Amino acid sequence: MADDKNKNNRKWNLNLNLNSENPDNRRRTAYYLLMALSVLMFLNYFALPSYMNRSVEEVTYSTFLDQVNGGDVSEVKLEDTQITFVATDDAGDKQVYVTGIIEDPTLVTRLEEADVTFSKDIPTEASPIVSLLVSWVLPLLLFWGMGNLLAKQMTKRMGGGAGGALSFGKSNAKVYVKAGDDAKTFKDVAGQDEAKEALSEIVDYLHQPKKYQDIGAQNPKGILLVGPPGTGKTLLARAVAGEADVPFFSISGSEFVEMFVGRGAAKVRDLFKEANEKAPCIVFIDEIDTIGKKRDSGGYGGGNDEREQTLNQLLAEMDGFEANKGVVILAATNRPESLDAALLRPGRFDRRVPVELPDLAGREAILKVHAKKYKMDPAIDYNTIARATSGASGAELANIINEGGLRAVREGRTSVTQNDLEESVETVIAGYQRKNAVISPKEKEIVSYHEIGHALVAAKQTESAPVHKITIIPRTSGALGYTMQIEEGEKSLMTKQELFNKIVTLAGGRAAEEIVFGSITTGASNDIEQMTRMARAMITRYGMSDTFDMMQIETQTNKYLGGDTSMNVSAGMAEQVDREVLDIIKQAHEKAIAILNENNQKLHELSHYLLVEETITGAEFMKILEN
With CB cut-offs between 5 and 8 Å by kind, which of ligand ADP, Zn ion, Mg ion, none does residue 508 bind?
Answer: none
- Considering only 159, 220, 222, 232, the residue that binds ligand ADP (CB under 6 A) is 232
CA–CA distance, 459 with 528 (Å, rounded to integer):
20
State which of positions 459-518 bind Zn ion (CB under 5 A). 509
Minimal distance, residue 331 CB to Mg ion, in Å: 11
Tell me if 370 is assigned to a ligand binding site: no
Residue 283 β-bridge partners: 249, 329
E strand residue ranges, 398-495: 467-471, 482-485
Among 159, 220, 230, 326, binds ligand ADP (CB under 6 A): 230
Segment contacting Zn ion by CB under 5 A, of 187-195, 401-409, 523-531, 594-602: 523-531
Q: Is 229 annotated as a binding residue?
A: yes
CA-CA distance, 544 to 524, in Å (whole number)? 25
Kindly tell me the sign of the dihedral angle through the C-alpha atoms of 232, 234, 240, 241: negative
From the list 303, 314, 302, the residue with the least C-alpha distance to 171 is 314
247 phi/psi in degrees, rounded to 5 = -55, 145
Mapped onto helix, strand or coil, the DSSP state of residue 176 is strand
Residues 222, 79: Cα–Cα separation, whole Å: 79
* 203 interacts with ligand ADP by CB under 6 A: no
Q: Which is nearer to Mg ion, 234 or 309 (CB)?
A: 234
DSSP state of 81: S
* Annotated binding-site residue? 147: no
Is 123 marked within a binding site? no
Answer yes or no whether residue 310 interacts with ligand ADP by CB under 6 A. no
Minimum CB distance to Mg ion, residue 225 (Å):
9
Answer for which of 206, 366, 472, 585 binds ligand ADP (CB under 6 A) is: 366
| 423, 451, 513, 580: the active-site residue | 451
Give min distance, CB of 358 to ligand ADP, in A: 6
Give the pairing type, strands 327-333 and 174-176.
unpaired
Among 13, 99, 234, 483, binds Mg ion (CB under 5 A): 234
| 89 assigned binding-site residue | no
Residue at 245: amino acid letter = D
290 is a site residue for ligand ADP (CB under 6 A):
no
> CB of 185: closest distance to Mg ion in angstroms?
18
Whether 102 and 60 have beta carbons less than 8 Å apart is answered as no
- Among ligand ADP, Zn ion, Mg ion, none, the one that 398 touches (CB under a kind-dependent 5 to 8 A) is ligand ADP
Site membership for ligand ADP, residue 369 (CB under 6 A) = yes
Please name the residues in contact with 176: beta carbons below 8 A apart, sequence gap of 6 or more: 183, 241, 247, 248, 250
CB of 446 to Zn ion, least distance (A): 11
Q: If phi over 0 gives left and psi between -120 and 50 gives alpha, with beta otherwise, what is residue 478?
A: left
- Taking CB under 6 A as the binding criterion, the range among 2-10, 122-130, 150-158, 188-196 that sits at the site for ligand ADP is 188-196
Which of 34, 158, 235, 467 lies at the binding interface for ligand ADP (CB under 6 A)? 235
How far apart CA 222 and CA 18 sit, in angstroms, is 48
Task: State yes or no: residue 527 binds Zn ion (CB under 5 A).
Answer: yes
| 3-class state of residue 88 by DSSP | strand
DSSP letter assigned to residue 344: G
- Tell me if 231 contacts ligand ADP by CB under 6 A: yes
Decide the pairing of beta strands 467-471 and 248-252: unpaired
Whether residue 232 is annotated as binding a ligand: the answer is yes
DSSP assignment of 523-548: GGHHHHHHHHHHHHHHHHTS--BTTT
Q: Please, which residue, 366 or 467, has the CB nearer to ligand ADP? A: 366
From residue 364, alpha-carbon distances to 42, 389, 548 in Å are 57, 10, 40
Residues 339/213, Cβ–Cβ less than 8 Å: no
**HSE of 359 in the Cβ direction (CA atoms, 13 Å)?**
9
454 labelled ligand-binding: yes
Residue of 528, 492, 485 whose CA lies nearest to 509: 528
Strand arrangement, sheet containing 82-88: 57-58, 94-100, 82-88, 73-78, 117-120
Q: How far is the CB of 361 from Mg ion (least distance, A)?
A: 23
Residue 366 CB, nearest approach to ligand ADP (Å): 4
The nearer residue to ligand ADP, 237 or 503, going by C-beta atoms, is 237
Q: How many residues bind ligand ADP (CB under 6 A)?
A: 17
CA distance 224 to 334: 10
- State which residue, 327 or 332, has the beta carbon closest to ligand ADP: 332
Helices (H), 411-440: 418-430
Among 225-233, 289-297, 465-473, 593-601, which window interacts with ligand ADP (CB under 6 A)? 225-233
> Is residue 451 flagged as an active site residue?
yes
**Of 222 and 508, CB closest to Zn ion:** 508
Q: Please, which of residues 254-293 interact with Mg ion by CB under 5 A? A: none
Whose CB is nearest to ligand ADP?
394
Select from Mg ion, ligand ADP, Zn ion, none the partner in contact with residue 445, using the beta carbon and a kind-dependent cut-off of 5 to 8 Å. none
User: Per rule CB under 6 A, is residue 398 in the interface with ligand ADP?
Assistant: yes
SS3 329: strand
Provide the Cα torsion 188, 192, 196, 197; round to 10°. Answer: 140
For residue 188, the minimal CB distance to ligand ADP (Å) is 6
- Site for Mg ion, rule CB under 5 A: 234
Please identify every residue annotated as catalytic.
451
Residues in contact with Zn ion by CB under 5 A are 509, 527
Output the known binding site: 227-234, 450, 454, 527
Q: Binding site for ATP: what residues are annotated? A: 227-234
The residues binding ligand ADP (CB under 6 A) are: 189-192, 229-235, 332, 366, 369, 394-395, 398
Positions at the binding site for Zn(2+): 450, 454, 527
